[in-house]
Amino acid sequence: MKRRCYLMLATAVLSGGCMNPGGTGGPAAPVWTEGVKSNIIGVAKFFPNNPWLLFDSDGTGRVDGVKINVYLESIIIEDGKRKSKGVFGSGTIIVSMYRIAYDRLGNESVTLIHKWELDPEAAYPWRCLQRTAMGWGYGLRLQWPGELDVAGREVSFAVKYVREDGRVIASRPHTFLVPMFGRTRVYNQ
């Protein structure tokens, strides 16, 4: 119970204030220069308790998207101390989705099934409007192609960041079992 409370609190803190591109009722995208850095040293990703989204309104309730909160970590000076905080990056965020399957002997095979690449311009609408305790972040809402059927299957998501100097910073993969049907509908996409 205590762990669940911490997870709910972390989800609320980490997902607050992120923009939604293309929405008609959402906030206007302000012009930010605060927090943009090129020297990213780490990638942190967080998934809410229910990360699954429904983008298509075909009536099937089939999951076709995921919510991911991403923090690109950089060393900043705050209150005279060096700290690792989330910043907006000047490079490219890449989110990879893998299907995990097992043969009859239990051997695992991992196959890349979809990839999203967000350069600074494509990532801009997903910037969070408010700085959290972890710094600035991105509230990604990613849809995969309709022909990709992963309902009831095990998938893994990995986030990496390609800096302007070509260095790649990667997160650890996070594995889920995709539900057969979802609950969170995405409007105004």
For residue 150, the cross-strand partners are none
Kindly report the three-state secondary structure assignment for every residue of the chain.
CHHHHHHHHHHHHHHCCECCCCCCCCCCCCCCCCCEECCCCEEEEECCCCCEEECCCCCCCCCCEEEEEEEEEEEEEECCEEEEEEEEECCEEEEEEEEEEECCCCCEEEEEEEEEEECHHHHHHHEECCCECCECCEEEEEECCCCCCCCCCEEEEEEEEECCCCCEEECCCEEEECCCCCCEECCCC
pLDDT tens-place string over residues 91-139 = 999 999 999 999 999 999 999 999 999 999 999 999 998 989 999 999 9
Cα(100)–Cα(176) distance, integer angstroms: 10
| pTM, full prediction | 0.78
Residue 23 has pLDDT above 60, yes or no: no
pLDDT tens-place string over residues 47-79 = 999 999 988 877 778 899 999 999 999 988 878
Q: Could you tell me the two tokens for 117?
A: 């690449």
Band (pLDDT 50/70/90 cuts) for residue 10 is very low
User: For 20-31, what is the mean pLDDT?
Assistant: 43
Class of the domain covering 2-20+33-185: mainly beta
